[in-house]
Chains A and B, each alone.
Chain A
């Protein structure tokens, strides 16, 4: 069971907007640790999509955007395209009495209808 909770799947038609939630707790997102997002196309390694909650690396289309609120974060994809069909993972840092560690969400599969 992942420390960060994501929906297993979301879907949308081309051109639509979809959002992926990433729910954490007061020991990670709620503690002020940043959230980062990765895209994993089928059969490939993950690729950084969003860092520091809402920043896009060079080359990432502005159709992708990230935000945080309280103990949760969201990734939005606007103008959904066929090439966006992939798995998406959120990542943060967790610090509690039991220790500190990097944590990932369980991943969300985006399907373009």
Chain B
């Protein structure tokens, strides 16, 4: 059974940093594109970032480009999202989501339960 478990969320001040993790199990982690998708309170889903399998190509939404860095450690079956220069509008539940295969024209067949990031003073 595929499992994705996010951690690392919490309260951070504007301008601060936070690193999210997503521990994966139940599938061959290194073979798949994994993404971060967020959902602000009471709002819809927003794709944030994605990273390809072994090659490690990265993709970012314009709203986070230059501030967030996605990475993965295939030896630990773990995905990361390093978030810096955080803003109030980054407040959201962050989900990691496994893509069925590649990055382009693909869908998310498994999702974690999410971790809440709150940016506030």
Interface residues of A (CB under 8 A from B): 2, 33-34, 36, 38, 40, 44-48, 51-52, 57, 87, 89, 91, 93, 95, 99-107
Contacts and interface: CB of A to CB of B under 8 A. Distances in A.
Main secondary structure of the interface of B (DSSP, over half): strand
Contact of B107 (A34, A45, A87): A34
Contact of B45 (A95, A99, A107): A107
A81 to B, nearest CB: 23
B100 interface: yes
Given A33-B105, A34-B105, A104 B111 contact: no
A2 B44 contact: yes
Contacts of A40: 45
Interface residues of B, number: 24
B112 A102 contact: no
A9 to B, nearest CB: 13
Contacts, number: 61
Q: Which of A38, A40, A101, A105 has the most CB of B within 10 A?
A: A101
Nearest to B4: A45
Contacts of A2: 44
A51 B35 contact: no
Nearest to A92: B105
Contacts of B100: 51
Contacts of B45: 38, 40, 46, 89, 91, 104, 107
A101 B111 contact: no
Contacts of B108: 36, 38, 46, 48, 91
Q: Which of A33, A46, A95 has the most CB of B within 10 A?
A: A46
Contact of A89 (B44, B61, B106, B113): B44
Given A45-B95, A101-B61, A93 B44 contact: no
B111 A36 contact: no
Contacts of A87: 44
Contacts of A93: 104-106
A47 B107 contact: no
